[in-house]
Amino acid sequence: MVAAGVVSPLGAGLVETLASLRAARDCISPVERFPVEQCRCTTAGQVSDEALAGVLPNDRKSCRLHRASRMMIRALAELLEQAPDFQPELMVVGTTSGGMSFGEQYYRALQQSDARARHLPAWIANYPPQKPAIDALEACGLASPCQVIANACASGTNAIGHAFECVRSGRYQRILTGGYDALSELVFVGFDSLQAATPEKCRPFDNARNGMVLGEGAALLALENYETARARGAEILAEITGYGISTDNHHLTQPHPSGIGPRQAMERALQSAGLPPGAIAYVNAHGTATPFNDAAEGKAIADLLGRVPVSSTKGMMGHSLGAAGAIEALITILALRHGFLPANINFRAPDLELDLDIVANEPRATTAGTALSNSFGFGGANASIVIQALAA
C-alpha cells in the first residue's frame, strides 16, 4: 500500500483519524438525517457535512451528488495527494447500499406526489450503487474500469483481498481498492427491525453487549506490486500479505455458532500469507457487538490464535457496512505504524465464554507489525486479510 485516503466519523483524512484513534474517541452521535423515534437505536457514527464540503470546485454539481460520492471523492483526493502519479489499472471497491437514500427520496416523492418531482431524474441517475465509485474516478481524472463488490458487511475486506490477489497473481500492477457506504433510513431501520442495533452504547465483546450502532464513511488504498513500488522509490506504508474468504451457509443473517465461517476465513488468510497463527500480533475484529456475531468470531479467534490482542473499533465509529473493512484496514495500518493497538471502547466486563485479550478502552503500546483484519456479513460472507504495517 503506497497511499490511502479516508473519511469516517473519526475524522476527515489520515491525520484526524489517527488523532481520534490515539484519544479512543467516541464518535457516535444522535441520528439527524431521518426520523428514528420509533427505532430501538437512535444513534450512529456520522460523517459531518463540513468534512464533505467543497469536494468539487463546482458546488452545484457537488450538491447533486450523493453523500457516498462526496465521501469517495474526499478519500480519493487525499490518496492522490500522496501519490499523484498513481494510475490504477482497475478499481475494486465494496459497498452495500451506494446511493440508497436517493432511492428513498424517490419513493417518498411518489407517495406524496411531492413538488420536488423535478429532482426525480437526478435521484435516479445518482442512485445506482456503483455511482459513487465512478463519480470519484471522474472527479479525480482517473479512467480505470470498476468492479464494485456487494458482499454485505464483508464487502470492503473482500475488495481489498481480491485486489491483493489480482496484484499478487501478476495480472495487475496497480489497483485502487477500498469501500464506501452512507447512512440510509432503509438500512438503519432494517438492522433495527432485526433487533441487531443497540439502544445503548456499542460494546463489542462485552458480557452485556446487545447490538451495534451503524456508521458511514469511505476509505481507499492504493495497492501496487511490491517490487515495482520499491524500484520506483515509493514509500511503502504497509503490505497486504494474505487473504481468506469463506461462505457460511448456516443462515442468511446469523453465523454458525461454532464460528466455522470466521475461522475458515482467518485460516485461509494465514495460509495465503504463509504464516503460522503465532505470527499474528493483533486482530482488528469485525466485532459488531451483537451477541451471536461476537460469540462466533470470538470463539474462532480464541480457537485459532489463542490470547492475541483483539479490538473492535466499531464502538468508536459505528459499523459502516461496505466501508467497514476498508476503514478498519486503514485503522490497523495507522495504529501499528504509530506503535499502538486501537482501543475497544465501552468495554466493561468480559464475556466469560470468550477467552480473549481485549484491548479495553485505551490504546495499548506495541511494537507489533502483523495483524489480521476481519469482516463478516449477511449471506454468510466472511473475509480476512493479513496486514504487515511498516513503522512510520
Partner 1 sequence: MSLSLVGLGWVTPLGSTIEEVWRKLLAGASAQAGTLGDSLGEKSYRAFQVPPDAIAEAAKYPRLRRSSAISRFAVVAGLAALRDAGIEPNEQTAARTALIFAISNGGVIYTKRFFHEIIKSGAQAASPLLFPETVFNAPASHLAAILGITGASYTLVGDGAVGILALKMAEDLMANPELDRCLVVGAEEADWLLCDAYRKWRLLRAEPPLEPFARPAKGMILSEGAGAVVLARAGDLQLQRVHPGGNFARQRELVRQLDRIGREIKNGEAPDFVIASANGTFIDDAEREVCASHFPGAAVYTPKPALGESVAAGGIWQTICAAQALRRQELPPLLHAPGELGLTTARSPAPNKWRRAVVTTCGLNQQVAALSLVAR
The interface region with partner 1, picked from 165-173, 202-210, 274-282, 312-320 by CB under 8 A, is 165-173
12 dihedral zone (left: phi>0; alpha: psi -120 to 50; beta): beta
Q: Which of residues 2-41 bind partner 1 (CB under 8 A)?
A: 35-36, 38-39
Does residue 151 bind partner 1 (CB under 8 A)?
yes
Question: Which residue out of 27, 41, 153, 202 is catalytically annotated?
Answer: 153
3-state secondary structure of 349: coil
Does residue 107 bind partner 1 (CB under 8 A)?
yes
Between 252 and 391, CB nearer to partner 1? 252
- Binding residue for partner 1, selected from 59, 232, 247, 278, defined by CB under 8 A: 247
Could you give the CA distance from residue 328 to residue 57 in angstroms, rounded to a whole number?
30
Q: Where are the beta strands (DSSP E) in 144-216?
A: 146-149, 174-181
Q: What is the dihedral of CA 246, 358, 206, 296, to 10 degrees?
A: 20
- The answer to whether residue 319 is catalytic is yes
Burial class of residue 120 (count of CB atoms within 10 Å of its CB; 0-12, 13-18, 19+)? middle
- Binding residue for partner 1, selected from 46, 105, 147, 198, defined by CB under 8 A: 147
Could you give the CA distance from residue 12 to residue 204 in angstroms, rounded to a whole number?
24
User: Considering the complex, what minimum distance in angstroms separates the CB of residue 78 from partner 1?
Assistant: 21
CB contact at 8 A, 126 and 72: no
- The answer to whether residue 286 is catalytic is yes
Could you give the CA distance from residue 284 to residue 120 in angstroms, rounded to a whole number?
41
Between 34 and 354, CB nearer to partner 1? 34
Cell 490477489 found at: 165
Question: Which residue out of 66, 162, 202, 286 is catalytically annotated?
Answer: 286
User: Considering the complex, what minimum distance in angstroms separates the CB of residue 317 from partner 1?
Assistant: 22
- Binding residue for partner 1, selected from 108, 116, 230, 307, defined by CB under 8 A: 108
CB contact at 8 A, 119 and 109: yes
Does residue 228 bind partner 1 (CB under 8 A)?
no
Could you give the CA distance from residue 306 to residue 277 in angstroms, rounded to a whole number?
9
Burial class of residue 35 (count of CB atoms within 10 Å of its CB; 0-12, 13-18, 19+)? exposed
Could you give the CA distance from residue 216 to residue 167 in angstroms, rounded to a whole number?
28
- Helix extents (H) in the chain: 14-22, 49-52, 59-64, 67-82, 100-111, 120-126, 131-139, 155-168, 185-193, 226-231, 260-273, 291-305, 314-317, 324-337
Between 120 and 390, CB nearer to partner 1? 120
Between 2 and 41, CB nearer to partner 1? 41
Does residue 177 bind partner 1 (CB under 8 A)?
no
Between 143 and 352, CB nearer to partner 1? 143
Does residue 150 bind partner 1 (CB under 8 A)?
yes
Does residue 257 bind partner 1 (CB under 8 A)?
no
CB atoms within 10 A of CB 274: 10
User: Considering the complex, what minimum distance in angstroms separates the CB of residue 61 from partner 1?
Assistant: 11
Amino acid at site 273: A
- The answer to whether residue 119 is catalytic is no
- Binding residue for partner 1, selected from 157, 377, 384, 387, defined by CB under 8 A: 377
Cα 353 vs. chain centroid, distance in angstroms?
A: 27
Does residue 320 bind partner 1 (CB under 8 A)?
no
- Binding residue for partner 1, selected from 43, 62, 241, 264, defined by CB under 8 A: 264
CB contact at 8 A, 319 and 204: no
Does residue 199 bind partner 1 (CB under 8 A)?
no
Q: Which of residues 73-92 bind partner 1 (CB under 8 A)?
A: 90
- Binding residue for partner 1, selected from 23, 53, 63, 110, defined by CB under 8 A: 110
Catalytic machinery residues: 153, 286, 319
**Which positions lie near partner 1, rule CB under 8 A?**
35-36, 38-39, 90, 95-96, 98, 104, 106-108, 110-111, 120-121, 124-125, 128-131, 134, 137-138, 143-152, 158, 162, 165-166, 169, 171, 185-186, 189-195, 245-249, 252-253, 264, 377-381
